[in-house]
Structures are given as C-alpha cells and as structure tokens.
Amino acid sequence: MPKKVGVNYRQLIIPFLILVAIIVIDQLTKLWAVGNLIEGEIKQVIGQFFQLKLIYNQGGALGIDLGSNIFYLATSLVILIFIISFVYSNRDKPAVSRPLALIAGGAVGNIIDRIASGRVVDFLDFDFFDFQLFGNKIERWWTFNVADAAITVGIILLVIWILFSAGSKGASATPPPGEAGNIESSQDF
C-alpha cells in the first residue's frame, strides 16, 4: 500500500505544548510578582545572588529603548509570525522546532504584557559576575522574566545546533576524489 503523503501534525504536538507551557508559566509567575512584590523593592531569595525585584519594562531587551510600545508590539508580532512558520517548516527536526517553540512562547508571553498594559513585567534578578559591554561596566545582570529566559535558552540551543550541524554537513558536502567537480580529474594534460 502506498504511503500517505501529507503533513504529519503529530510532529507539532511537542512544540505546541512547549509554547503553551511557557506562556502559562510566564503569565502565572508575572501575576504572582505583581500581586506579591512592590515595584522597585528587593526581596532577597539567595542573598544578593538571586533577588526578586518588580520592574516594568517599556523598552526592549536589556531595557533598550528604540521606540514606542507600538513599535515593540508590531516588531514582536512580525517576528513571531516568522518563528511560528519556522517551527512548522522544521517540525521534523526537534532540535530546531523545540527551541523555536521556546522562543515563540517567550515572545507571546511578553506580547500579552504589551497588549494588556503597554509594558513587560520583569522580576527575576540575578548577579552572576561583573563584565564590560560596549565600554560600560555591568555590575548586575538585567532583571528579566520567564519569557525572557525561554527566549534566551531557545537561542542558545539553536546556536549549539547550528554549530554542530554545520560541522557535520560540511564534511559530507565534499565530493570524493575522481568525481565531477574535482579539478584534477577534469583537466586534460
């Protein structure tokens, strides 16, 4: 019997569940933060290493301000459409579709905030180590949320996949000696 040709939607179940889980966890933790923390007040969890500090971010990643809330909302929606289409087109590659689902879930979590209040709720505050960035000394990491963490983890996983998959493809792309494309075999002396 011939194999049925079509889209295997089962391959989208896990990415969909990841996306929904990130949105739910992100929104529940933000609701908790808004209901239990006072803006700007610090609650130490593990000394100064891990603190809870409620802030409202009207800008973008790392607090960068490139425009209005409408700018960030529109940009996020356009990027989200591309990410979801990449999840769909890479549904047969879990190493790609699942990290993209993390990124999409994080994007939706922050989009919900922007639609609801025009700003993003951040409350997780870690201090890993000090470093220099573009001539500025960063003494404490930026305050973030679960959506931001999901986006970051998704990007890291994709970079790892790209680095390791590019190396394995590069080795197999070289034609064996004596085949077409080999300079020595195509020259006539």
- Whole-angstrom CA distances from 43 to 7, 52, 124 are 49, 5, 10
Q: Is residue 94 part of a domain?
A: yes
Q: Is residue 184 part of a domain?
A: no
Q: Is residue 65 part of a domain?
A: yes
26, 113, 125, 148: the catalytic one is 148
Q: Are 69 and 119 in contact (CB under 8 A)?
A: yes
pLDDT in tens, 41-86: 999 999 888 999 999 988 666 666 666 668 878 888 999 999 999 9
| Cα–Cα distance for residue pair 34/49, rounded to 1 Å | 21
pLDDT in tens, 97-141: 999 999 999 999 999 999 999 899 999 998 876 777 777 777 777
- Whole-angstrom CA distances from 107 to 47, 154, 185 are 30, 11, 53
Does the active-site annotation cover 122? yes
User: Could you give the maximum distance between any two Cα atoms of the chain, in Å?
Assistant: 82
26, 113, 122, 125: the catalytic one is 122
pTM: 0.78
Q: Containing domain of residue 101, as a range? A: 11-167
What angle is formed at CA 69 by the lines to CA 17 and CA 149, rounded to 5 degrees? 35
* Domains: count for the chain: 1
